[in-house]
Amino acid sequence: MIERYITEEMREIWSQENQFRTWLEVELAVCRAWMEEGEIPEGAFRNIVERSCIDLNRIRQIEDSVQHDMIAFVSSVAEKVGPDGRFIHLGLTSSDVIDTSSSLLLSRSIDIISRDLERISETVLEKAWQYRHQACVGRTHGVHAEPISFGFKLLNWYEEFQRDFRRLKGARLSVAVGKISGAVGTYAHCPPSIEERVCALLGLERARVSTQVLQRDRHAEVMSTLALLGSGLERIAQEIRHLQRTEVLEVLEPFSQNQKGSSAMPHKKNPVICERICGMARLLRGYAISSMENIPLWHERDISHSSVERVIWPDAFNISHYMIRKTLEVISGMRILESGMKRNLDLSKGLVFSQRVLLALLEKGFNREEAYAIVQGSAMKCWEEEKTFLETLENDPAILKNFDREDLESLFDTEYFLRFIDTIFDRFPEPGGSLAK
């Protein structure tokens, strides 16, 4: 991952040094389990704990020679420990350590994502309640449909975040699993009791069955969950990008005092943060596909997955975390242009009320085909003759025969479309956590 998109929390988790520290965490848990079973003397175990450490330079030096990172790691730690180093990695295969430690790294990364997802959820919910009665035009196919409220739009974002929480929780359960079962998963040189104790020490579930590796559907679930999260963040960013267009101008992403929008055109305020979020979502979806392709390994294991995971795991979590942080920045600081929302509601000269007129005609006894033809005919004249929808309706004999002006005007009430907004919001907690009364 390039420096531009790294977050400090993910940098710490996915740094090479911390990955080796996590390997050591697993190795020490295995040594403790062996010590408790009487296979490693207690004094030797204490010596291993006290003297083992990570020496990146030495690990790299050994790896240059042996071309195997786990052997280099074990050899380096054993050198620090001395003769008792012979007990390190006892009965294990490389993937016992790598996969179990990866489960720790992935679980801890999910915890960070979940924590900041909670922050952005709270911010969106607060904004949703704040603007729950702010009328704006709804759009389908990019075309004006019927009035909604801006808070209602935000409430949809909040609800998707709740689904993201559930998906992250499920993915964490799937991947928070360890395996200490040997070269092909049969415990030939390391009994199941060791695996059970190691996983308990590390706070992981034990895999009920594995091969030399943990099966990669678990990890694909994590990557797919991040891809879904990223796609949801893209949906928000893309919405704001549209609402910031000059022709729309209802919402603006934050623009700092000294920020520049264009090297050529000083007037520009471009939605660059939202565009960046949209681009990053494409990467996450690509990583999800790569992770799925890691599932069908040869027999009990090959290493075609290994090089892929070295790239996509740290990158995916850095990107996801960065996207959440940037989306939070956008939502916290976006400008809501209420005047622009009113202007756009009026832009179609009342056409957004067409279904209300249609239903009123049905109540008068018209069949649906007749009513639709009357309303559509007036609507088309509104487009072509640059008259208001109300004016074109008032010139239709069928309308004049069945409605007086007051009744007709009553159909052009924005508040009618928002009459159940509070009912919808009552399904959700108010900012601060309590359900609406």
pLDDT by residue, tens only, the chain of 437 residues: 789 999 999 999 999 999 999 999 999 999 999 999 999 999 999 999 999 999 999 999 999 999 999 999 999 999 999 999 999 999 999 999 999 999 999 999 999 999 999 999 999 999 999 999 999 999 999 999 999 999 999 999 999 999 999 999 999 999 999 999 999 999 999 999 999 999 999 999 999 999 999 999 999 999 999 999 999 999 999 999 999 999 999 999 988 778 777 777 788 789 999 999 999 999 999 999 999 999 999 999 999 999 999 999 999 999 999 999 999 999 999 999 999 999 999 999 999 999 999 999 999 999 999 999 999 999 999 888 888 999 999 989 999 889 999 999 999 999 999 999 999 999 999 988 644 43
CATH code assigned at 219: 1.20.200.10
CA dist 392 and 383 (Å) reads 10
Residue type, 257: Q
CA dist 275 and 281 (Å) reads 10
User: Are 136 and 184 found together in one domain?
Assistant: yes
CA dist 329 and 273 (Å) reads 9
Any idea which residue has 């199941």 for tokens?
192
* DSSP structure string for 74-138: HHHHHHHH-GGGGGTTTT--HHHHHHHHHHHHHHHHHHHHHHHHHHHHHHHHHHHHHTTT-EEEE
User: Are 52 and 31 found together in one domain?
Assistant: yes
User: Are 111 and 18 found together in one domain?
Assistant: no
User: Are 40 and 158 found together in one domain?
Assistant: no
Q: Quick check: is 434 catalytic? A: no
Q: Quick check: is 262 catalytic? A: yes
CA dist 336 and 41 (Å) reads 68
CA dist 169 and 162 (Å) reads 11
In a domain, 66, yes or no: yes
Helix %, strand %, coil % for the chain, to 5?
A: 65, 5, 30
CB distance 320 to 232 below 8 Å: no
CB distance 425 to 132 below 8 Å: yes
> What is the number of domains present in the chain?
3
429 DSSP β-pair partners: 435
In a domain, 432, yes or no: no
User: Are 188 and 50 found together in one domain?
Assistant: no
Which of 319, 342, 365 is at the close of a domain?
A: 342
User: Are 334 and 373 found together in one domain?
Assistant: no
Query: Each residue of 65-85: pLDDT tens digit?
Result: 999 999 999 999 999 999 999
CB distance 278 to 206 below 8 Å: no
Residues 15, 65, 262, 304: which is the catalytic one?
262
Which of 63, 90, 117 is at the close of a domain?
A: 90
CA dist 88 and 97 (Å) reads 11
DSSP 419: T
Q: How much is the pLDDT for 267?
A: 80
User: Are 169 and 280 found together in one domain?
Assistant: yes
CB distance 79 to 85 below 8 Å: yes
**What count of other Cβ atoms lies within 10 Å of the Cβ of residue 367?**
9
Residues 141, 256, 267, 299: which is the catalytic one?
141
Cβ contacts of residue 367 below 8 Å, gap of 6+? none
Cβ contacts of residue 70 below 8 Å, gap of 6+? 23, 94, 97, 98
CA dist 194 and 204 (Å) reads 13
Task: Go through the chain and tell me how many residues it has.
Answer: 437
In a domain, 428, yes or no: no
CA dist 426 and 217 (Å) reads 39
User: Are 115 and 188 found together in one domain?
Assistant: yes
CA dist 345 and 352 (Å) reads 8
Which of 38, 69, 90 is at the close of a domain?
A: 90
Query: Tokens in use for 408?
Result: 């007709």
Q: How much is the pLDDT for 97?
A: 98
In a domain, 426, yes or no: no
DSSP E strands: which ranges in 113-216?
135-140, 143-149, 177-178, 205-206
CATH code assigned at 356: 1.10.40.30
In a domain, 318, yes or no: yes
CA dist 382 and 349 (Å) reads 8
User: Are 326 and 364 found together in one domain?
Assistant: no
User: Are 75 and 175 found together in one domain?
Assistant: no
DSSP 435: B
In a domain, 125, yes or no: yes
User: Are 335 and 232 found together in one domain?
Assistant: yes
- The CA distances from residue 386 to 146, 282, 355, 373, in Å, are 20, 42, 20, 19
User: Are 85 and 98 found together in one domain?
Assistant: no
In a domain, 273, yes or no: yes
Torsion over CA of 395, 397, 401 and 404, rounded to 10 degrees?
0
**Counting beta carbons within 10 angstroms of the beta carbon of residue 419, is it exposed (0 to 12), middle (13 to 18) or buried (19 or more)?**
exposed
In a domain, 26, yes or no: yes
98 DSSP β-pair partners: none
Q: How much is the pLDDT for 437?
A: 35
CB distance 313 to 102 below 8 Å: yes
- What is the biggest distance separating any 2 CA atoms in the chain, rounded to whole angstroms? 103
* Domain coverage including residue 387: 351-411
CATH code assigned at 50: 1.10.275.10
